[in-house]
Amino acid sequence: MGYYGKSNAANPVLISAQELSAATSAVIFDGVFNEETNHYKLICVDMTLDDASTDIRIMRRNGGSDVTTTLDFQGHSGNMQSGETTNEILDQTVGGYMDITSDETGTDGTRHTNHVIIDYFPNVAHLPTDMMQSLTIGAGTSHDDAGDAWWKEQTNVLVGSTSFDGCSISAGTGNIAGGKFYIYGMV
């Protein structure tokens, strides 16, 4: 990756990229978070699944393996149509992964697209943290109408001090069918 220097002025530097040409069980970035910077971004564009009504999970990784240490998280999600459902996510705990889709993608996984931005702070002295924003078109029991646009914002804090140097993106069932995935170093 090389030294950024102060002249970078917080401009993103592309660390790694993957563009899918075929379905895969997971998009994996290993060894991308290191001591050269404290802030990274994962950006997923036009991510689709080959299965319907499933969730999309982002998992921390370290040394080529998933980190299953518990995450505490809170956030908000909501339907973008006027007068529709908004959810508040309070004091939740999960075994190692972020669910970016409010549990379901809808009735047609390949039609529903997902866009995600996650900020990672893996090398800070206190509270290794990530913050996520996503936009998904979905339906199903977690959503009130087919085809609605949903947004979600969530903050996750790692419980304990397990380090991580990468991440993976996968579906609860089925495969990631398409999308573009980027890791940027920030500051």
- Give 48-72 pLDDT, tens digit per residue: 888 877 778 888 899 999 988 777 6
Q: What is the pLDDT of residue 37?
A: 84
The range of the structural domain enclosing residue 121 comes to 11-185
Beta strands in the chain (DSSP E): 13-19, 26-29, 40-49, 56-62, 65-66, 71-79, 86-94, 97-99, 114-121, 129-138, 148-158, 166-171, 176-185
Residue 121 sits at φ, ψ, to 5 deg, of: -125, 75
pLDDT in tens, 109-151: 555 678 888 888 887 766 666 666 666 655 555 555 545 566 6
What distance in Å separates the CA atoms of residue 157 and residue 36, rounded to the nearest whole number?
21
- Does 4 fall in a domain? no
- Does 166 fall in a domain? yes
What distance in Å separates the CA atoms of residue 58 and residue 27, rounded to the nearest whole number?
10
The mean pLDDT of the chain is 75
- Does 5 fall in a domain? no
pLDDT of 21 strictly over 60 = yes
- Does 6 fall in a domain? no
- Does 3 fall in a domain? no
Q: Which of 182, 172, 181, 176 is nearest to 22 (CA)?
A: 176
- Does 45 fall in a domain? yes
The count of domains in the chain is 1
CATH of residue 51's domain is 2.60.120
CA angle 149, 152, 158 (to 5 degrees): 155
- Does 41 fall in a domain? yes
